[in-house]
């Protein structure tokens, strides 16, 4: 037994681990709708629930705020954000603009590991889909799209793209009234990999544009030129 305090870096690592656990648990409940829009999240209650300090909970809430999943409003506290069709439509449009411009830049000088990284993430998506873990599939999906954008060398836009991806997935999950074919969802990324591997910029751009435009049923209304 020791009576000495743990080193500061050990305390910091433990705090970060607890913050990550709280963040992941809250994010999962928000994405699945267990915590509905407008639900109040108080630091005191969450700290008791996760057996951690309010400061640790605050770090998790700040991360959720960065992803647009909660709103922190001073004396009004923190609430789960809305997930509206109007915002989803605009985020689909912003996302298409960022990603389709990004893939052109990415394929002008792609990294040597791009295709291998995409294939590895594709395999992860298929594994999550076969396990019927929609949230894990969505996480790998976001990593897939951000991996392409990474080679565009536009890092300041990556947080914007990430928020759009998170909101798109939350919207899609919240609007699902019947079980979806998750394997088919994962397999939709195969054509993007083939286009990227071919090095054909126009083909890759069109594959990505079509992929984004046909993600949800409102696609034709948001992108009139898209074909289902």
Residues of the chain with pLDDT under 70: 1-16, 216-228
pLDDT score at 223:
57
pLDDT of residue 9: 54
In this structure, what DSSP letter does residue 153 have? Answer: T
CA distance 228 to 226: 7
pTM for this model (two decimals): 0.85
Give the class (CATH, top level) of 8-80: mainly alpha
Distances (CA, A) of 72 to 68, 75, 76, 101, 169: 10, 9, 8, 32, 22
Q: For residue 197, what pLDDT is reported?
A: 97
What pLDDT does residue 77 have? 84
* Residues 100 and 92: beta-carbon distance below 8 Å: no
Q: Can you tell me the distance from the alpha carbon of 10 to that of 29, in angstroms, rounded to the nearest whole number?
A: 29
CATH code of the region 85-222: 1.20.120.530
**pLDDT, position 26:** 95
pLDDT at 179: 78
Q: Which residue has the tokens 């000495």?
A: 4
Distance between CA atoms of residues 102 and 110, nearest Å: 11
Domain ranges of the chain: 8-80, 85-222
3-state SS, 90-136, equals: HHHHHHHHHHHHHHHHHHHCCCCCHHHHHHHHHHHHHHHHHCCCHHH
Q: SS3 breakdown of the chain: % helix, strand, coil, rounded to 5?
A: 70, 5, 25
Which pLDDT score is estimated for 39? Answer: 94
Given this model, what pLDDT does residue 133 score? 93
Of the candidates 150, 138, 221, the residue with the CA atom closest to the CA atom of residue 185: 138
Q: In this predicted structure, what is the pLDDT of residue 225?
A: 58
Burial pattern 133-144, b for ≥16 Cβ within 10 A else e, equals ebebbbbbbbbb
Place of tokens 């411009």: 101
Q: Do domains 8-80 and 85-222 have the same CATH topology?
A: no
Q: What is the structure's pLDDT at 215? A: 80
Handedness of CA 151, 172, 135, 133 (dihedral sign): negative
Instruction: Classify residue 151 as exposed, middle or buried by CB count within 10 Å of its CB (0-12, 13-18, 19+).
Output: buried
């Amino acid at each position: 037994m020791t009576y000495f305090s743990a080193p500061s870096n050990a305390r910091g690592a433990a705090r970060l681990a607890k913050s990550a656990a709280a963040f992941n648990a809250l994010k999962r409940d928000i994405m699945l709708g267990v915590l509905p829009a407008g639900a109040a999240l108080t630091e005191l209650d969450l700290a008791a629930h996760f057996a951690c300090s309010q400061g640790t909970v605050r770090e998790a809430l700040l991360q959720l705020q960065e992803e647009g999943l909660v709103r922190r409003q001073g004396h009004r506290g923190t609430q789960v954000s809305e997930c509206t069709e109007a915002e989803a439509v605009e985020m689909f449009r912003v996302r298409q603009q960022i990603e389709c411009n990004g893939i052109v830049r990415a394929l002008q000088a792609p990294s040597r590991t791009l295709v291998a990284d995409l294939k590895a993430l594709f395999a992860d998506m298929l594994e999550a889909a076969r396990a019927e873990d929609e949230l894990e599939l969505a996480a790998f999906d976001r990593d897939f799209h951000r991996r392409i954008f990474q080679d565009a060398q536009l890092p300041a836009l990556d947080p914007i793209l990430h928020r759009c991806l998170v909101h798109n997935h939350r919207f899609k999950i919240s609007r699902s009234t019947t079980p979806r074919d998750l394997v088919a969802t994962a397999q939709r990324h195969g054509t993007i990999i083939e286009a990227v591997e071919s090095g054909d910029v126009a083909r890759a751009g069109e594959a990505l544009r079509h992929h984004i435009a046909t993600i949800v049923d409102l696609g034709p209304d948001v992108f009139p030129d898209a074909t289902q």
